[in-house]
Each structure stands twice: as C-alpha cells, then as structure tokens.
C-alpha cells in the first residue's frame, strides 16, 4: 500500500499499423503506419517506440528530462536493449527490468514505491515490444511460412509510458502486489495464456486477501495478456475456489487491442499489450470518470528459447497495481 498517494501525472502510448486498425486506435497518442517506424531495423524501431512514448508523456506533464529522477523500464529483447538504449538517449538514472510481459506493472509498482518512500520526486516508467523483433528473437524469421496454431498469441507493436509523482494527480496508485513465480508445468510457448493464468489467479487472490477486498471493489480487473484461453482458465480457477469474479468485469488487455478478424489467434501479448491498454485506454477512462477503481494485472512468461528447447516448463509471474480516480 502506498499511504502517500503517488499519482500518475502523465501517460502516453504509441502503436504500430496493426494496432491502429484495432478497436483501441483512438486511445493511442501516436500511431505509426510503418512497422519500421522510419528506422532501419526492428530493434531500432522498438527503441524508437519507447523513446517516443517517453517523450510524449514528458510533454503532457510539461516536464523536461532534467525534472525526472529515475527511469524504470524493460522490454522483451535480450539484455533489455530497448530499455537501456532508451535510457542512453534520456541520460537519466536507470533501472532495467526483465519481467517479460509483466514488466509494465513491475515498473509502475517500483516507480510508486520509489516515489512513495520519498526517495524520488518524479519517476518515468515504461515498456515497449515489437511484433517482428519478438518473432525473430523467440520464434522464426518474420517472413517464414510456418503455420501457427489457434492457441498462439500476437505480440503487440507499441509502447506505453507513465510518470509517477507525489504532485497532485487525478489518478493515484493505492497499492501494488508483487507476484511470486508460479509454474504448473505447462510447456507450450505457443499457448502462454494457459501457462500464465495460475500466476494471475495467485496474484489477484493474494492482493484481495492482503487488502481485504473482494473483486466487486474494482470496476474492472484487467489482465495483461492471458488471451482467450488464459482468461477462461483464470475464471475457472476463481470459480473453483469460490472467488466470485464477474466475467464482465474481468477483462484481458490481449483481447482488447485487436478485432476478431485481425488474425491474432488467441489474442495479443507482449509487454506493450498491458502497457498500451493501461497507459492508454484505462487511463483515459479513469481521467474521464467512466471508471473509478481498477486492478491492473500484468502477466509474464519467464522462459527463453533455450529453456524451452531444453524441455523446461514455463515459469510465470503476475504483478498487480491498484489505481483509483480521486478528483
């Protein structure tokens, strides 16, 4: 819990062309219609996305990078190159995260912690992912013609960033629950939603227990990228354990970014899935007053191609952040 009420004073999201065709297009601050976003490689493109999101967030807050104390970010690429190269551009004190797709909320929770403890005044946090960069790192070459099963998920091309501070803000972070690593032995990297569902379940019930709240205390519980299968499994786990979760108020970011006919299989994934929905869509609704209290749960699968090839199962994690509109 954060008694000093750290707030999100500004946030920004940027996306690629496919995201621009989705139902949430209007919630993005900037849509690029080129997957390279004007750069030479996909890795540079991912960096550019994060840099742009950070820039827009700073502009919205009317701040310069000199006004910020810390940059907390992460991404999906090896050694967190997107986050660290963005930090190079920003020339700010930097903490790199590696929480796979849970990075967005891991960053926000840490930013809230740093600000709430009074050790930092303003913290910038964000994350980016790029579909093609992730494909070539984790799967096959981007133009390779392998057929994907319907359980697979589509990595979002985009970035989201937010600035956390004790300055008065309409949206505050009331609490965060850092998840533990959960591994129930699932091995299929083309069905990550099912692997991550127990982690989301574990973090949500821990959060509710710690806070002595019920799911009904939240207008929405938003998971990061469970996809269709993962969401269903999570709902089933809740039901089995007698936790009453209204399916209408338990939504998944992975199912919000794209339309049904956009061929994304079981839904979206990637660090930008939760980041884009949270820093864009959810923030917009909190600011306009259509939503008041949200639990955002970013889920991550912590495997690498090496562990998968060596037959290891997929360890997963979920971090939850509770945000509220106060003004």
Partner 1 sequence: MAKPALPEARAYQALARTREIPRPIGLNVVRAFVVGGMISVLGQMLMWMYENFFGFTEKGANNPTVATLVFLSVLLTGLGVYDRIAQWAGAGTIVPITGFANTMASSALDAKAEGYVLGVGANMFKVAGPVIVFGTVAAFVVALVKTIFTVL
Which stretches of the chain bind partner 1, using CB under 8 A? Answer: 40-43, 136, 140-151, 182, 184-186, 191, 194, 197-198, 201-202, 205-206, 209, 228-229, 232-233, 236-237, 240-243, 263, 266
Within 10 A of 185 (CB to CB), how many other CB atoms are there?
7
What SS3 class is residue 326?
A: coil
Within 10 A of 126 (CB to CB), how many other CB atoms are there?
35
Instruction: Give the residue with the Cβ less far from partner 1, 201 or 278.
Output: 201
Helices 131-138, 42-61: axis angle to 10 degrees equals 140
CA 194/CA 190 separation, integer angstroms: 10
Strands 268-269 and 250-252: unpaired
Q: How far is the CB of 87 from partner 1 (least distance, A)?
A: 22
Instruction: Give the residue with the Cβ less far from partner 1, 186 or 297.
Output: 186
Instruction: Give the residue with the Cβ less far from partner 1, 66 or 212.
Output: 212
Q: E strands along the chain, which residues?
A: 7-15, 30-31, 70-75, 94-97, 122-129, 154-155, 158-165, 171-177, 220-223, 250-252, 268-269, 293-301, 316-325
Within 10 A of 167 (CB to CB), how many other CB atoms are there?
14
Instruction: Give the residue with the Cβ less far from partner 1, 3 or 242.
Output: 242
Instruction: Give the residue with the Cβ less far from partner 1, 118 or 242.
Output: 242
Q: How far is the CB of 236 from partner 1 (least distance, A)?
A: 7
Q: How far is the CB of 127 from partner 1 (least distance, A)?
A: 22
Q: How far is the CB of 137 from partner 1 (least distance, A)?
A: 10
Q: How far is the CB of 146 from partner 1 (least distance, A)?
A: 7
CB 9 within 8 Å of CB 167: yes
Instruction: Give the residue with the Cβ less far from partner 1, 162 or 198.
Output: 198
Write the DSSP assignment of 12-71 as a string of letters.
EEEE-HHHHTSTTGGG-SEE-SSTTTTSSSHHHHHHHHHHHHHHHHHHHHT--GGG--EE
Q: How far is the CB of 203 from partner 1 (least distance, A)?
A: 11
């Amino acid at each position: 819990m954060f008694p000093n009420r750290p707030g999100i004073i500004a946030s920004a999201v940027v996306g690629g062309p496919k995201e621009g065709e989705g139902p949430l297009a209007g919630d993005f601050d900037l849509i690029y219609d080129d997957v390279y976003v004007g750069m030479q490689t996909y890795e540079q493109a991912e960096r550019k996305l994060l840099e742009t999101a950070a820039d827009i967030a700073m502009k919205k807050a009317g701040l310069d990078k000199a006004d910020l104390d810390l940059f907390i970010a992460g991404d999906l690429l090896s050694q967190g190159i997107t986050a660290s190269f963005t930090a190079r551009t920003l020339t700010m004190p930097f903490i790199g995260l590696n929480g796979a797709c849970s990075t967005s909320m891991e960053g926000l929770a840490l930013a809230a912690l740093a600000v709430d403890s009074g050790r930092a005044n303003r913290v910038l946090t964000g994350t980016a992912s790029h579909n093609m960069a992730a494909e070539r790192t984790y799967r096959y070459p981007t133009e390779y013609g392998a057929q994907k099963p319907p359980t697979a998920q589509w990595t979002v091309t985009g970035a989201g960033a937010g600035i956390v501070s004790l300055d008065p803000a309409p949206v505050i972070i009331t609490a965060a629950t850092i998840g533990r690593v959960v591994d129930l032995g699932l091995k299929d990297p083309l069905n990550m939603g099912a692997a991550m569902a127990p982690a989301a379940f574990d973090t949500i019930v821990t959060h509710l227990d710690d806070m002595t709240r019920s799911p009904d205390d939240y207008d929405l519980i938003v998971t990061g990228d469970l996809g269709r299968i993962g969401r269903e499994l999570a709902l089933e786990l809740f039901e089995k354990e007698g936790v009453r979760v209204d399916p209408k108020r338990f939504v998944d970011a992975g199912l919000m970014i794209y339309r049904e006919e956009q061929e994304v299989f079981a839904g979206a994934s990637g660090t930008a899935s939760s980041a884009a929905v949270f820093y864009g869509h959810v923030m917009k609704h909190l600011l306009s007053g259509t939503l008041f209290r949200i639990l955002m749960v970013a889920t991550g699968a912590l495997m690498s191609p090496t562990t998968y090839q060596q037959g290891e199962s997929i360890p997963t994690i979920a971090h939850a952040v509770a945000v509220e509109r106060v003004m």
